[in-house]
Structure 1
Amino acid sequence: MKSSLALIMALPNESKGLFEQAQIDVHYSGIGKVNAAFKAFEVIQATGCKTLLNLGSAGSSYFERHALVEVTSFVQRDMDVSPLGFEVGVTPMDQDHPGAIDLEPYFSHLPKGVCGTGDSFETGQPKVPCNLVDMEGYAMAKVCKKLGVRLISVKYITDGADDSAHLDWEENLMLGAKKLLSLYQSITT
């Protein structure tokens, strides 16, 4: 079935089954940039969506825990080819997409953030300027840009991207799922 909006999240842990209980189709990418890129491409091809909505969790030492933050720019916090003279966060020889991929804001009431994506669970300060971190968003943004699909991304801040991040992340997922479900329902009903 073709739809103008498709919902993608990284893990069922982030929805806690609440979206499925509400009869909402969720596509799960799995963890990391490769899985996210593949699943985003697959979902766009299968659904023909014009907008991909990414809801999920993120860490931040800038935003308060439990806040919903709309991502307006994604950067790669783990792309580092600086020994060859390239700026950290920039993929060499990729003229189509510079280091940051900007998104058009959708929610007027949410704070805006720059999300650093990387294939590591961040517990420190990333090498590129950003104020929240995830493990999938940049890859989804790149696929959407290449295919001409709008990406809207909202992250629930589960942890402070610090030494206790792994404990806080799991503990805060249920509250995050409830907030993300409420946000989703506010735009689709």
Structure 2
Amino acid sequence: MIKINSETQFPISETLFVFALESEAGTAFNHINKITTGIGKVNAAIELTKAISINKPKLIVNLGSAGGIGFSKGEIICCTNFIQRDMDAQGLGFKKFETPLSNIPIVLENGLKMEGLKQGTCGSGDSFEMNHINTEYNVIDMEAYPLALIALQEKIPFLCLKYISDDAGSDAANDWSVQVHLASEAFKKIIFGQKD
């Protein structure tokens, strides 16, 4: 079982684990129901949609590496709010990060809160951020927003945990390449650390 908090848990057999890359999953998740989507919002959306239709999961868990502001490298952050950080239609009179004519809130609220973990707001976009200047989000990735949106629309509970690999600054690329390989072991302790 995956224990979210004292009142909520899900069978691992009915959970779909979603990673962008095999390097984030390592070998720790080989024996469970998982997909790797590839990098970026479009790949994430396509692969999750296909997997939902085949697997019919009771829980979707997104595990991956991310930049983080105000967190330490190696920390795992539970994301419960999501922003599409590269959506910019301000020239048409829409607000920063607002998806025009969609009725989707700028800050998408979705995600279970896992006991014992800090919470964050994840900004997803199709760029590797190395000069973070936005204050609206403090976790930076490239896939979580569409995963959270699809899970919400499909009414499937969603858990998003991000391993902080870098600070989205000038050394982010070097930090990420070192830290990404440590993510799977950190996730393994949180997910499988409890007895089934």
What TM-score comes out, normalization by structure 2 length? Answer: 0.88
Assess if the C-alpha contact under 8 Å between 2:80 and 2:113 holds in 1.
no
Q: 1:152 to 1:126 in 2, by over 3 A?
A: farther
Percent identity for Structure 1 against Structure 2: 33
Give 2:180's aligned amino acid. L
Q: Per-residue deviation at 1:34? A: 0.4
Name the structure 2 match of 1:8. Answer: 18
Q: SS of 2:192's equivalent?
A: helix
State the Cα RMSD in Å. 1.5
Name the structure 1 match of 2:120. Answer: 113
Assess if the C-alpha contact under 8 Å between 1:62 and 1:132 holds in 2.
no
Give aligned pairs, total.
Answer: 184
- How far apart, CA to CA, are the structure 2 residues paired with 1:79 and 1:127? 13
More displaced, 72-81 or 119-128?
119-128
Q: Per-residue deviation at 1:54? A: 0.4
Consecutive unaligned residues of structure 1, counting only runs of 5 or more, are none
Q: Deviations for 1:110-137, whole angstroms, at most 9, x for unmatched residues?
A: 0000000000001122546000100000
- Match 1:93 to one of 101, 111, 119: 101
Q: 1:41 to 1:188 in 2, by over 3 A?
A: farther
- Match 1:72 to one of 80, 88, 92: 80
- How far apart, CA to CA, are the structure 1 residues paired with 2:154 and 2:15? 15
- Match 1:149 to one of 156, 170, 173: 156
Aligned pairs for 1:1-189 within 5 A: 3-20=13-30, 23-95=31-103, 97-127=104-134, 129-186=136-193, 189=196
What TM-score comes out, normalization by structure 1 length? Answer: 0.92
